[in-house]
Amino acid sequence: MFEPNSIRTLVFDVLGTVVDEAGSVRSEFTGAMVAAGGTPQQGGELARAWSQRFDELLKAIHERTVPWRSTDDLYREALIHSLPEEPRLPKATVRHLAQVSHRLQPWPDAVDALQALSERFLIVALSNGNMSMLADMFRNAGLRWHCVLSGEMVHAYKPDPSVYRLAIDMLHLDPARTLMVAAHPWDLRAAATHGMRTAYIKRAGEGELRDTDRIDVAVDDLSELAAYFEASQEIGA
């Protein structure tokens, strides 16, 4: 049984959950390809190739076949690996695109919902993105937090246990009173193994729940999460 009024802390996944990582990347890559004489389709292909390579690099780090590197490094390497022969992007454009993660756009509901939720909960960002990427992105997107934690601080990527332990141990959280908020079921499953409660945010293309997943809250976006807690408070009061 899940008791919403027992929750004290919200721990947010960021990439895909709070910001539209895939859409922002696709949009910038497409713009650059078109500017270089290519087609929007070629932009979409670059984004898909980039995403696939990025996942491969993450997987290798997670399996410890290569050492940890920052998301800045992985974004850059995945991009360079995925560039087509034609059209050839100018070097300055490639440098700019390699930093696209610093400019990821928030989902439309994110800024207002975070503001509302921050008035009741301790709100914490817990992201695989490195700290400089997160800081720049939050500044550009207008997203502010009580605390920002990154896998960079333990040189690991979620779902590695050390990243969840970082939040629980450093902030002295009671996992049973802490809600992991994420669009990726794998992230929620990992958080649950540490005793955290789970909220699934249904973002298109970010991953679907399995029948066997035990999720405490499932909502379409962060506004709905804020409304859910507002309703629970009225009932609890």
Residues that bind a copy of itself (CB under 8 A): 118-119, 121-124, 131-132, 134-136, 138-139, 142-148, 152-153, 170-172
Helix axes 91-98, 71-82, angle to 10 degrees: 140
3 vs 174, beta carbon nearer a copy of itself: 174
In the bound complex, what is the minimum distance in angstroms from residue 167's beta carbon to a copy of itself? 10
CA distance 226 to 117: 6
128 token code pair: 């695989």
Q: Which is nearer to a copy of itself, 11 or 46 (CB)?
A: 11
The least CB distance from residue 230 to a copy of itself, in Å, is: 18
**DSSP labels, 122-144:** EEEEEESS-HHHHHHHHHHHT--
Q: 3-state class of 13 per DSSP?
A: coil
Q: Which is nearer to a copy of itself, 30 or 130 (CB)?
A: 130
Q: Which is closer to a copy of itself, CB of 51 or CB of 118?
A: 118
Least separation, in Å, of the C-beta of 122 and a copy of itself? 4
**Cis status of the peptide bond prior to 106, with omega within 30 of 0:** no
Select 9 or 82, whichever has its Cβ closest to a copy of itself.
Answer: 9
157 close to 128: Cβ distance less than 8 angstroms? yes
Q: Which SS3 state, helix, strand or coil, does residue 167 take?
A: helix
CA 83, CA 88: separation in Å to the nearest integer?
A: 8
Rounded CA-CA distance 98/75 in Å is 6
What's the min distance (Å) between Cβ of 168 and a copy of itself? 11
Minimum distance from residue 114 beta carbon to a copy of itself (Å): 8
